[in-house]
Structure formats: structure tokens, C-alpha cells
Amino acid sequence: MRFLPHTDEEIKSMLQAVRVASLEDLFSQVPPDCRRDAAMDLPAPITEWELNEQAGAIAGMMEVQPDFKVLIGAGSYDHNIPSIIPALTSRSEFMTAYTPYQPEMAQGTLQGIFEYQTLTARLLGMDAANASIYDGASALAEALLMGIRISKKKKKVAVSKAIHPHYRQVVTTYFQPTDFEVVELPYLADGRTDFSGLAELDDLAVVAVQSPNFFGVVEDLSAAAAATHEAQAIFITSFTEPLAYGLVKNPGSCGADIVCGEGQSFGIPRSFGGPGLGMFTCLEKYIRSMPGRLVGQTTDLDGKRGYVLTLATREQHIRREKATSNICSNQGLCAMTAGIYMASLGGTGIRELARLNYDKAEYFKAELTKAGAGIVFSSPTFNEFVVEFAKPFKSAADRLRKKKIIAGLELGKYYQELAGKYLFCVTETVSRKVMDAVVREVKR
Amino acid sequence: MRDVFATGGMILNESLLWEKGKKGRKAMDIAESDVPAAVVDPEIAGSGPDFPDLGEVDIVRHYTRLSQWNFGVDTGMYPLGSCTMKYNPKINDKIAATPALASAHPMLSDDLCQGTLFMMYELQRFLAEITGLDAVSLQPAAGAHGELTGMLIFSAYHKSRGSRRTKILIPDTAHGTNPASAALCGLYPVPVKSGPDGVIDPKVVADLMDTETAGIMVTNPNTLGLFEENITEIAEIIHKRGGLVYADGANMNAVMGIVDMKKCGVDILHLNLHKTFSTPHGGGGPGAGPVCVVRRLEKFLPVPRVVKKRRTYSLEADQPYSVGRIHAFHGNFGILVRAYSYIRLMGAENLKRVSQLAVLNANYIKEKLKDDLHLPYDRPCMHECVFSDQNQHDAKVSTLDMAKRLMDYGYHPPTIYFPLVVGGAIMIEPTETESKDELDLFIEAFKEIVCEAKENPDILHQAPHITKVKRLDETTAARHPCLTG
């Protein structure tokens, strides 16, 4: 086996050095009643070349091949990824390093993450970002727990029903063993969250909303922030499509206390939903309540600028059960990827790309409307929107599938009341030709 | 003194991203629009973020220079105890980048993504076989996330039996994440002191275990690198009083093909694919922390999970006892692919060999360094060995000083000051992918440093000498945090 460098002779001499007769005898302290009865039943080893073939066969089992156009976003977006990104992130000095516990040997990771934190905070209009959380869903759950820590003693959190249904499921999972109550805020006919009931909720610690929300609708965050603060609660905004903030007002400027969400859009392949990137930011006054790793700037003995992991006293390895979270790792390389992506676009590029996504979606909405379909929610959207059809869309979707187009996500599974309606997403990777092909099928 | 590996080679200084660039530059192509420009509702329009504009060469040089300030497993030996910094095969990254897998959308209907589901199903099967347990969830995104899932299962299990338990036993040799994970689930950690031989005494567990205690969370092999040899007896005590046994399987790399976790009495165990199964650590992640359970706890696992019916794979979500969803989608799939690839390349015999050689390497270092460094538990170890700086106290040299000096010799330091049961701990985990030559050089370097500690302690106090930056002021960083530029 080429990853195991030991020759038989070396093994022999090393066993002599440790005064053990055989490799098996190294495990003398493992009692017989803990031992396996038989060898592991796994497929026989294969070579690299056979593995390549096997991967090809598995890829062949996918009905949806890379040349398909998948017009689904819903938390996982198809954006172009420039080749410099895999080239730089696969540099093994980044890829094969651990969490930067020894800063003198990890300045590359540390400066890269410091830059990621800075760009993320600027994007979302917030004071500080952490080095990342697992994904958008766990980021939301952690944000809610953080909000509860800040609010102290209050027991209720209100979560918009227009937040990604999977994220809400994860929140339910995290909250199950606690005595906190999760209240759902309904959405209005225009696709925005209804905050009118907030005033009646007492004991409210946190209000969470997503923008653009699961329906692609841009929420009125300023109004939501005002209503939340009126109720003396912490205002959290979540997102699944950070590119929107190239065009749309950022949550910080609208009064958010904590902003978190999924960063997969920023140069990370969809990869069946993971690894992604939980982006996490907050106002300065709350940083000591934040979960996760933080990189901070400092100086070395000679006064030179450098970076370290900091505020570790919040963390599990120091505080143990009193930590702000149990999180130990982050999505380091994905954060680095998002940092490179944001830097590659730049301020000018991110506006242009966000604009292109917006224009495509608006074109598609207009053409679908002309073809007789309806746009379900009237509020402004970014690159996703919900469509209803005069007649069942299923057969049109099947015909489009034969043309290598996966036309939207049927919503009945996630919102019973929206059964038969479809959530569509178009990004810069979808040409007018593809949108027109969908429109033609709608007309048929 | 022999020539050490490390020299102050040519690395370049590099400013922060926003200290360079010129407005109007771009490092990414954006196609001309093929649709008319639409009107943006002024109510939602923002001004866009204040990002610097950089060209492609700016970006490539920036990150290439940054990477050169880093040290990875590919650079050299990285014996960070408990973190298992083994070599990460390049082929695994290539397989994970297979276009049909890397571009798969996570919400496709099952019939459209049989390939990804097949691979997950197979990996579930492999991990069950390797641990000896029955059922697996691949959703948790990291070890600590797996622990949280395990604790949620504890909570759901006891709730299903109508019992409310508020405490959990956690040995002092467990990972630091364990108490924090338990606390998230409302379980109050009760510390279990390990015995003088570094392992848990069943009598201590028997004294602590009661019907208000949900069970025990034990790291096995533990963080002293020792096998908890009384594990079956401990499990029996826990089970008798209605509790569950959680094993932190972060150190599974030491016992593959040797130990059967079910026979040990373990009910739930998480694995760290980025440790045992060679997936890269990425400077802090992404990892993956699958959770394996015995049959009677299968119904509590997160949903959805991949099941096979005839020759078709599907995602099964209908399970009323499940703790629910723990990840937005299916876990860190790209990491799961790498672990799948590794297991296919290795097969059963090589995986067992991995554990044997990992243990051989650790014992070899322990034997070769125990005359120079204080060894608090002198007994056969598993995949790692733990020394302390006790012998260096007279010279006023600390673990930190020796760790920093190792950098000048071209090594990443071991894990230091952990586990907490050893004062000034130096926790060395060489892993199986280091050859005897590499180990000998490392041992020689450490011996040299021990000599320096006696003869010239100042050289250690000032170390490292040749890294990009010298020791950094962590106190000021924490007192006056500067988290953005």
C-alpha cells in the first residue's frame, strides 16, 4: 500500500525497539471481549486506476449530468467558478494544514481567514464575522442560541415560515432538548413575513427572518428590525444567496443584530449540498457571545503585523460545558474559497454579477407571465421566484427534462398550501435560450 | 549539530487584499447580458459592498504568497496529537471533483441522483462494518456536530422511555468538545477522574452512575493514547442503570480491524472522517462526523437517510422517533466521497495495517524519547503518546518553548497542554504515514532540543527564529480584538 511506507525490515527493527514480538501484540491491552470475531467485510482494495473507473460508473448512475440546466436554487446555487479558485484552494499548504493553533506556522490560513471575515462583514454591513460555521442551517440554529444568551432568561424565539424549510427543521432539532419555544411567523400574500403578531408574543428573545427568503422574496428588513426591537428582542437575518447583497440593501444597514447564512454561492460547488459555508456576523457589542473561531490581528515580538485565533475563552476547549458553542472546527477551506471568490469579483464585479442574476430572473418572470403563468408573490425578488401555472406543470417538466432542463422545484412537499406551484432559480449560468425553451413548454 | 530541515527560504511579504488593487479591475469573467436591463425597486436597492478591485494576477500571487507562510502535512511531519494529521491521498480530491457528483443539486428527486445516493449507501455500510455497529447517519458535518447528534439521541431515547435524565458522565481524558456538546442538550457533565494508570476505574463509574444520569461519553482510545480496557465492565454498569454509552470515535484510527465497538458495549459512536479516513483538514475544516448506532437506536438517527429497496436507492425521512434533521442537506458530501475513495483503495487488510502501524509509530517515539522527556504513564500506548515538560522545569523551559523550537527544525509542534490531566502535556501522534526515517529525524531533533534546554535555554525562549513571524501577542489580541480590517 503506497501510503504505508514501512518495509518489513523496518517493522522488525521497530518492534524490537519497543520490545514487542509482533504487530498483533501491540494491542495486548485490548481485552479479548472487545475484539472483533472476524476480519472486516469490505470490498477488496482497488488501484487508483480502478477507482477512476468506479467513479465514472457512479457518475453514470446520475440521471442529471453536468450538461443539464438545473433551474433550482433553494439553498444551493449554480454559479460560475473561475479556475483560479480550485487552483489556489488546492494548494496543499492550505488544504493539508490543521486549525491554526500554532500561528507562526499558519499565517497563510490566518490572514486568509481574517480577510474572509472582513469581506463578509463588509458584504453584510456588520461589525464582525467569525471564521465560519458548518452551513446555513446550523448557523441559524447557533444564531438563535446566541440570541437567547444575549436576551437572558427569555424563553421564546419567533422564526419566519419563509425561512428555508430545512433550516427550520434543523432549528427544531437543536431546540428539542431545551425548554425554549419556537413560534412560527406566517407569510403574507405578497410573500413577505407577517410581523403583525409580534406585539402579542411575550417573553420573546429572538426574531429570525431570511432575506431573500425561501420564495426568493426580498423582505422589508427595516420594518422587521423596527418591529423586533419594539418587542425588545434580538433581530436575526438569515440568507441562502449572499450574492443578492451585491445589489440589495445589506441587513446591517437595516438594523440586524446577527446576520448569518449559507455561503455556497461564493465559489463552492453544489456537491450534493455539502460542504458549504455557514457565514456568521454580528454587531461589535455581541462578539463575546459569538460561537465559533475568530481570527484577530496582533503583532509579534518584533512589532510585525500578524494574526492569531482569538477570544478563545468563549470556546469549548477552555470553557468546556460553559462554552458559547460546542463548535471546534469550522469550514476553513470553504471560508478561504469564499474569500478568494469575493476578492476575485471585487466591488465592481459583485454589483455587475448580482445585476445580471436579477435581470435574468426579471426577464424570465416577464416571459412566463406573458405565456399565461402567474408569479405567486408580488414583492421584489432577486434570482428566485414562485410560479403557478394554468394547467398542471408536471408533463411540461417531464418534456423539459428530456431536453436536459430541470424546471424548478415543486413546493407541495415543503408547503402544502403551495402544492403545484414551482420555485424557479436563474443565475448567470442560464441563458435566454434555456429560459425561452421553458416558456415555450408553458405555452403548449 | 546536524543540518536541520528548516531554513529561512525566500518567502515574500504580502499586504492585505484591500491595501492593493485599483478600482475597475476584476479577476473573473462576467458574460454580456442576453436579457434587457430591468428596473430595481429603489426600496430594496443597496450600494453594494466596499470590496477592493483586483486583477487575476493580483489574486493568484496574493494567495500563493499566503500559502507559502503555511505548513501542511505535505510540507512535513505534523504530529499533532488527537488530530491525526496523516497523509491525504490526492486521488480522493480528484474523485470528489467528478463533475456529475460535484455539480449535483441536493434537492433533486431520488430517481435523478442514484449515483450520489449509491455512494452514500455504500459508505454507511462500510462505516457500520468498520465500527461493528449497525446503522449510520452521514449528516453531521464535523466531530463536534456528531457528538451533538449523539447527545440528541441520548435525550430522545430517554424521553421515549418516559425518563428525564439531567446528568452525563464525562471522564477527564475525553475531548474538550464533549462537555460542551452535552450541555447543549441540557445534560450537566459530571467529571469522572481517570485512575493512576490513565484509564477509568469501573468502581468510580459505579459510584457516580444513577437513574438521573443519561449515560457516559467516553473517548476510546482516550486522549492519553490508552485503550479503556475496562470498557465492557463500564458499559454493563451504565446499561444496568438504564443509561447509554457514547464513544467519541475520533481515535478509531488506532483500532480498525481489531476492536468491535458493539462488543465493547458502545451504543453510539461518531467518527471523524478527516482523521481516520484521510480527508484533508483544510486549515480547520470542512470535516465530517458520521454517527453510528446499535440497532435499537436506529430509529432515533437524523433523517433523511439513504435506504436501498431492490436495486434503487432513496432518501427515507419518515421516522417519527428521529431526532430530526441536523444538516441543511446530506452532510459534507464532498468529504464523504473522499472517505469512500480511501476505503475502496485500502480494503480491510490495509485498514487494519493502518492501525497497527499508527500504534507502532507512537510506541516507537514513546520508547525513543522517554529518557529525555518525562513520560507520566509508562505503559503501551495506542496511536499517540503523552509526555510532559517536568524534566525541563529546572532549566525554566516549558512545553511551549520546546514546541516553538521544533518549528526551527522544520516540524509542526505536537498538541500541547492537552489532555488537561497531564500538566504541560506534549501529545505526539505520528500517524502511520510517517516512515521510520522520518520518525528517527524527529526523535533526533527533539533530543537536540532537550540538550539545548539545558545548555542554552534562551534559544528556546526566543523560538521560533526562522518563521515568517515570531511569537505573537495573543493577550493584546484578546483584550482589544481586531477582527476586521
For residue A165, what is the domain's CATH number?
3.40.640.10
Mean pLDDT of A326-336: 87
Residue A212: closest C-alpha in chain B: B44
Given a cut of 90, whether residue B240 has pLDDT beyond it is yes
A311 belongs to a structural domain: yes
Which pLDDT belongs to residue A322? 77
- Check CB contact under 8 Å for A55 and B341: yes
Q: How far is Cα B245 from Cα A65, in angstroms, rounded to an integer?
A: 43
A423: domain CATH number? 3.90.1150.10
- Together in a domain, A216 and A355: no
- Together in a domain, A167 and A112: yes
**What domains, with CATH codes, occur in chain B?**
92-344 (3.40.640.10), 348-470 (3.90.1150.10)
Question: Binning pLDDT at 50, 70 and 90, where does residue B253 land?
Answer: very high
Q: Is B354 left (phi over 0), alpha (psi -120 to 50) or beta?
A: alpha
Question: Binning pLDDT at 50, 70 and 90, where does residue B3 land?
Answer: low
The per-residue pLDDT for range B339-374, each reduced to its tens digit, is 999 999 999 999 999 999 999 999 999 999 999 999
A264 belongs to a structural domain: yes
To the nearest whole angstrom, how far is the Cα of B296 from the nearest Cα of chain A? 20
The per-residue pLDDT for range A43-62, each reduced to its tens digit, is 999 999 999 999 999 999 99
A42 belongs to a structural domain: no
A8 belongs to a structural domain: no
Question: Binning pLDDT at 50, 70 and 90, where does residue B210 land?
Answer: very high
| Residue A378 CA to its chain's centroid (Å) | 27
To the nearest whole angstrom, how far is the Cα of B253 from the nearest Cα of chain A? 13
Q: Which residue has the cell 432515533?
A: B300
- Check CB contact under 8 Å for A27 and B352: no
The per-residue pLDDT for range A380-418, each reduced to its tens digit, is 999 999 999 999 999 999 999 999 999 999 999 999 999
* A173 interfaces chain B, CB cutoff of 8 Å: yes
Mean pLDDT of A222-228: 97
Residue-number span of the structural domain to which A391 is assigned: 69-81+349-443
Question: Binning pLDDT at 50, 70 and 90, where does residue B456 land?
Answer: very high
DSSP character string of B251-273: GGGGTTTTB-TTTTT-SEEE--T
Mean pLDDT of B39-53: 96
Find chain B residues with C-beta within 8 A of A293's C-beta.
Answer: 284
- Is the ipTM reported for this complex over the cut 0.85? yes
Domain total of chain A: 2
- Together in a domain, A313 and A263: yes
To the nearest whole angstrom, how far is the Cα of B251 from the nearest Cα of chain A? 14
* A416 interfaces chain B, CB cutoff of 8 Å: no
Residue A87: closest C-alpha in chain B: B60
- Together in a domain, A288 and A158: yes
- Check CB contact under 8 Å for B41 and A380: yes
- Cell numbers for A174, please give them: 437543536
The per-residue pLDDT for range A63-119, each reduced to its tens digit, is 999 999 999 999 999 999 999 999 999 999 999 999 999 999 999 999 999 999 999
Q: Out of A341, A376, A405, pick the residue that ends a domain.
A: A341
Sheet with A384-388, edge to edge strand ranges? A374-375, A384-388, A422-425, A409-410
- Together in a domain, A353 and A321: no
Amino acid identity of A284? Answer: E
- Together in a domain, A256 and A170: yes
Find chain A residues with C-beta within 8 A of B469's C-beta.
Answer: 103-104, 107, 300, 304, 306
Which pLDDT belongs to residue B135? 98
Nearest by CB: A270 against B45, B105, B302: B105
* A183 interfaces chain B, CB cutoff of 8 Å: no
Beta-bridge partners for B415: B427
Q: How many residues does chain A have?
A: 444
Find chain B residues with C-beta within 8 A of A17's C-beta.
Answer: 364, 367-368
Given a cut of 80, whether residue B164 has pLDDT beyond it is yes
Which pLDDT belongs to residue B2? 57
A408 belongs to a structural domain: yes
Q: How far is Cα B234 from Cα B119, in angstroms, rounded to an integer?
A: 36
To the nearest whole angstrom, how far is the Cα of B54 from the nearest Cα of chain A? 6
Q: Out of A341, A358, A389, pick the residue that ends a domain.
A: A341
Contacts of A261 (CB under 8 A, 6+ apart): A136, A139, A140, A210, A237, A238, A239, A240, A242, A278, A279
To the nearest whole angstrom, how far is the Cα of B457 from the nearest Cα of chain A? 18
Quick check: bond before B89 cis, omega within 30?
Answer: no
Average pLDDT, chain A: 96
A6 belongs to a structural domain: no
To the nearest whole angstrom, how far is the Cα of B185 from the nearest Cα of chain A? 5
Q: pTM for this one?
A: 0.97
Beta-sheet pairing, A156-160 with A181-185: parallel
The per-residue pLDDT for range B395-429, each reduced to its tens digit, is 999 999 999 999 999 999 999 999 999 999 999 99
Across the A:B interface, residue pairs with CB atoms under 8 Å apart total 690
A49 belongs to a structural domain: no
- Check CB contact under 8 Å for B182 and A321: yes
Q: Out of A341, A361, A382, pick the residue that ends a domain.
A: A341
- Together in a domain, A77 and A89: no
A19 belongs to a structural domain: no
Given a cut of 80, whether residue B132 has pLDDT beyond it is yes
- Together in a domain, A416 and A395: yes
- Together in a domain, A102 and A77: no
Q: How far is Cα A110 from Cα B469, in angstroms, rounded to an integer?
A: 12
Question: Binning pLDDT at 50, 70 and 90, where does residue A326 land?
Answer: confident
Percent of chain B topping pLDDT 90: 94
Q: Residues of A numbered 209-238 whose beta carbons fall under 8 angstroms of chain B's beta carbons: which are they? A: 218, 220
Mean pLDDT of A372-385: 98
To the nearest whole angstrom, how far is the Cα of A5 from the nearest Cα of chain B? 5
- Cell numbers for B287, please give them: 470535516
Find chain A residues with C-beta within 8 A of B354's C-beta.
Answer: 4
Find chain A residues with C-beta within 8 A of B350's C-beta.
Answer: 1, 4, 45
To the nearest whole angstrom, how far is the Cα of B261 from the nearest Cα of chain A? 7
- Check CB contact under 8 Å for A80 and B352: no
- Together in a domain, A131 and A109: yes
Question: Binning pLDDT at 50, 70 and 90, where does residue A444 land?
Answer: confident
Mean pLDDT of A138-153: 95
* A155 interfaces chain B, CB cutoff of 8 Å: no
- Together in a domain, A213 and A294: yes
- Check CB contact under 8 Å for A328 and B143: yes
- Together in a domain, A173 and A224: yes
What's the CA angle centered on B48, arms B42 and B54, to 5 degrees?
A: 150
Given a cut of 70, whether residue B104 has pLDDT beyond it is yes
Find chain A residues with C-beta within 8 A of B141's C-beta.
Answer: 134-135, 138, 274-275, 331
Question: Binning pLDDT at 50, 70 and 90, where does residue A320 land?
Answer: confident
